[in-house]
Amino acid sequence: MSLKRQKGVAAVEFAVVVPVLLLIAVGLAQFGWLLSNYVMVANAASAGARYFASQRGTATPYSGTQTQVQTSAAVLNTGNLSITASVNGGNCTSDTACAADLTSAASGAAVATAAVTVTYSNFSPLFTGSLFGLFTMMPSALNATAAERVQ
């Protein structure tokens, strides 16, 4: 082959490779954003469970747990967080119910478990849209549950 026939080959190869590289870069960014947000939700659930499990005998275990979770997830939009607390599998939705559940669960001989579930709804990925259905694979909500032994 002569040198004249080789002109522009690098440009064509570049044009073929760039879309693939961009797709890989966008996928890495999307997954990184998802993983980062999930770690924040999981850390908030862990901090909430740790706090909730140590609140036996206090008057405001549920509202204190909500505050702890929201403080731990301050980087996220806390308006999109929903927090569920439970003692030995039974949900409690108020300070009085949670205080009673924590007290009665800890007085028994069996091990009592306090769990906190945090759901981050309306998760928005970095890039939206639908490119061959790839971007619609991202979840719209992130969930994390953490459990601790009641102290």
pLDDT of residue 17: 95
Please determine, for residue 135, whether its predicted confidence score (pLDDT) is greater than 60. no
What percent of the chain is modeled with pLDDT above 90?
Answer: 56
CA 148 to chain centre: 18
Q: What is the mean pLDDT of the chain?
A: 87
Please determine, for residue 133, whether its predicted confidence score (pLDDT) is greater than 90. no
Average pLDDT, integer, range 64-80: 93
Average pLDDT, integer, range 126-147: 77
Question: How far, in Å, CA of 58 to CA of 60, rounded?
Answer: 6
Please determine, for residue 49, whether its predicted confidence score (pLDDT) is greater than 80. yes
pLDDT of residue 131: 61
pLDDT of residue 4: 66
